[in-house]
Amino acid sequence: MLESLSQLPPGLWQALGLTLRLAAVVTFLLLLVGAPLAWWLSVSRARILPLVEAVIGLPIVLPPTVLGFYLLALFAPESWPGRLWFRATGETLAFSFSGLVVGSVLYSLPYAVQPLASAFRSVPQPLLDASTSLGGSGWTTFWRIVLPLSWRGVGVAAMLSFAHTVGEFGVVVMLGGSIPGKTRVASIALYDEVQKLNYPAAHAFAFLLLVLSFLVLLGMALVQRRVPRPG
Amino acid sequence: MWMGCASLLLLLLGAGSLAFPSRVAARESNVIAIAAASDLIFCLEELNAQFCQLHPKAAPQVTAGSSGNFFAQLQRGAPFDLFLSADVRYPEELARSGKADGTTLTRYATGRLVLWTVRTNLSVTNGLTLLTNPAVRRIALANPEHAPYGRAAKAALESAGLWHVVFDKIVLGENIAQTAQFVQTGHADAGLVALSLVSAPKLKQTGRWWLVPESLHPPLEQAAVLTGYGRWNEGARQYLDFLRSAKGREIFERFGFRNSAKTD
């Protein structure tokens, strides 16, 4: 197996690198966007809350092709979001790395927001009240009380966002255009290898992905166990 | 309570479909399962309609995709009776590996490649040189690694000495229909697609195309074959005959195919 790994076409290593880069960028953005959103979900009493929760959770149920299709339609070069995007980035949303980032962030949003929100909710209310009564602003309370007590949730959110982005296929097939080094991620590269009937390379690559994914999850699980349970 | 009923129902449905495999049902209802290259998607609607007039009981079922993908699936015993490839090589290979009946190999038509754009500010009259125009930022091809039209497109660009010039603009569709979709939605400024797609009623009024001379690429001769799975399916054999009948040829011609010279 190791021997066949050394014979993997360079294109597959490139695809793997691209996938890890995409997953890292998406995970970072999801934590950035997901944390305030999850915080709002966990403290808000707004009546539209169930509505917002349902919308965020959609990608869990929705086929990825639906999301891909809507993104293609919404960001068509002739449409105004498409023109706006082009002016901002200098490229079309389809066939670009940043396009995959947008698609992946939307597609993995619930996997970041839901663990974060449940972690935030489990922070004891008296601690929040104490912080406020001692003059801590909402911001201070979030940074110094909520976040330190929610590291487990943050870890789970990061892990799921990363894993879900690595495992993505449908959105990328619709938006990507399979450009080496830009949009040909690991799942697409494997698909292409299989269609080329290049089974030895496909086997080696699939096995590599399997092992890597397993190691990421195992590592995360071990880290999770080390972190003391909050509260 | 409601959830319990729903899951019980799902369980029963699941068990039912396991107990009565669709293959048994397929044999009784004259289904002809067709795996077709996606340059045929529009053409097949017409072919199936005509075939069903001749054989009212027949029920052709089309799955469209890239020929290379179907080849890989059929090698693993995918349940299709007929394989309509966008080239001759895949059906031949399939017959050679014993997964299809080589004696039924039917060269049904020859496809044509076109340069296509829906941009109103671009003109196709000067042919492939359009692709070097800076206004063309994205060029869609089918993936040359497993789609015959992609191979033809790559060959044409190489013959024209443009492959390396436009390489950075190229985006790859999973099959020729997705490639056309990239162009039609404007995400790609131009593309090399199948004439059979852009001359179909659905796309006829969309954009402008330029026929790529056949001297620039190997001919896109297409063949069909009866698979091992379909060898007992009489309807599938009739369908193969129909592809080469006068009616079948007339439909292929209407969709921009050239009739194959060879009949073997």
Q: Under a CB-based contact definition with an 8 Å cutoff, are residues B66 and B221 in contact?
A: no
Q: Under a CB-based contact definition with an 8 Å cutoff, are residues B39 and B177 in contact?
A: yes
Nearest Cα to Cα of residue B109 among B198, B220, B238, B194: B220
Three-class DSSP category at A184 = coil
Where are the CATH 3.40.190.10 domain residues in chain B? Answer: 28-111+220-254, 113-216
pLDDT score of B25: 47
Show the CA angle centred on residue B161, arms to residues B157 and B164, nearest 5°.
75
- Greatest Cα pair distance, chain A, in angstroms, is 67
Contact A177 B182 (CB under 8 A): yes
pLDDT tens sequence for chain B (264 residues): 444 555 555 555 555 555 444 444 445 568 999 999 999 999 999 999 999 999 999 999 999 888 888 898 898 888 999 999 999 999 999 999 999 999 999 999 999 999 999 999 999 999 999 999 999 999 999 999 888 999 999 999 999 999 999 999 999 998 899 999 999 988 999 999 999 999 998 898 899 999 999 999 999 999 999 999 999 999 999 999 999 999 999 999 999 998 765 444
Taking contacts as CB-CB distances below 8 angstroms, the residues of chain B near A95 are 138, 171, 187-188
Q: What is the pLDDT of residues A115-168, one digit of tens each?
A: 999 999 998 888 888 888 888 787 888 888 888 889 889 988 998 999 999 989
Residue A4: half-sphere exposure toward Cβ, Cα within 13 Å: 12
pLDDT score of A46: 87
Q: What is the dotted CATH code of the domain comprising B113-216?
A: 3.40.190.10
Q: What is the pLDDT of residues B203-254, one digit of tens each?
A: 988 999 999 999 999 999 999 999 999 999 999 999 999 999 999 999 999 9
Contacts 24+ apart (CB under 8 A), B44-47: B44/B84, B46/B251, B46/B254, B46/B255, B47/B242, B47/B243, B47/B248, B47/B251
How near does any CA of chain A get to the CA of B13, in Å? Answer: 20
Q: Under a CB-based contact definition with an 8 Å cutoff, are residues A101 and A25 in contact?
A: yes
Whole-angstrom distance, CA of residue A166 vs CA of residue A169:
9
- The CATH class given to the B28-111+220-254 domain equals alpha beta
Taking contacts as CB-CB distances below 8 angstroms, the residues of chain A near B186 are 76-78
Q: What pTM was estimated for this model as a whole?
A: 0.79
Domain boundaries, position A113: 2-60+95-226
Q: Could you report the predicted ipTM of this complex, rounded to two decimals?
A: 0.70
Give the CA distances from residue B209 to residues B2, B58, B132, B216, B220, in Å, rounded to whole numbers and listed in that order.
56, 36, 16, 16, 18
Give A164 or A226, the one with higher predicted confidence: A164
Number of structural domains, chain A?
A: 1
Whether the CB of A196 is below 8 Å from some CB of chain B: the reply is yes
Whether the CB of B121 is below 8 Å from some CB of chain A: the reply is no
Residue A231 in any domain: the answer is: no
pLDDT score of A229: 57
Residue A205 in any domain: the answer is: yes
Whether the CB of B148 is below 8 Å from some CB of chain A: the reply is no
Whole-angstrom distance, CA of residue B145 vs CA of residue A193:
9
Residue A8 in any domain: the answer is: yes
What average pLDDT does range A17-41 have in this prediction? Answer: 95
> What does the mean pLDDT of chain A come to?
87
Q: Under a CB-based contact definition with an 8 Å cutoff, are residues B141 and B188 in contact?
A: no
Residue A67 in any domain: the answer is: no
Q: Under a CB-based contact definition with an 8 Å cutoff, are residues B173 and B179 in contact?
A: yes
Taking contacts as CB-CB distances below 8 angstroms, the residues of chain A near B172 are 177-179
pLDDT score of B233: 94
Residue A82 in any domain: the answer is: no
Whether the CB of A218 is below 8 Å from some CB of chain B: the reply is no
Interhelix angle B41-54/B246-254, rounded to 10 degrees, is 150
The domain spanning residue A190 has which CATH number? Answer: 1.10.3720.10
C-beta neighbour count of B133 within 10 angstroms: 16
Contact A178 B174 (CB under 8 A): yes
pLDDT score of A32: 95
Taking contacts as CB-CB distances below 8 angstroms, the residues of chain A near B146 are 192, 195-196
Whether the CB of A11 is below 8 Å from some CB of chain B: the reply is no
Nearest Cα to Cα of residue B37 among B93, B97, B111: B111
pLDDT score of A76: 85
Q: In sequence order, what are the beta bridge partners of B64?
A: B36
Taking contacts as CB-CB distances below 8 angstroms, the residues of chain B near A179 are 170-172
Comparing CB atoms, the residue among B170, B171, B186 nearest residue A77 is B186
Three-class DSSP category at B221 = strand
The percentage of residues in chain A with a pLDDT greater than 70, rounded to a whole number, is 96
Q: What is the pLDDT of residues A178-225, one digit of tens each?
A: 888 888 999 999 988 877 778 888 899 999 999 988 988 888 788 777
Query: A191: which 2 tokens?
Result: 């698909």
Whether the CB of B184 is below 8 Å from some CB of chain A: the reply is no
Comparing CB atoms, the residue among B66, B171, B186 nearest residue A95 is B171
Contact A177 B69 (CB under 8 A): no
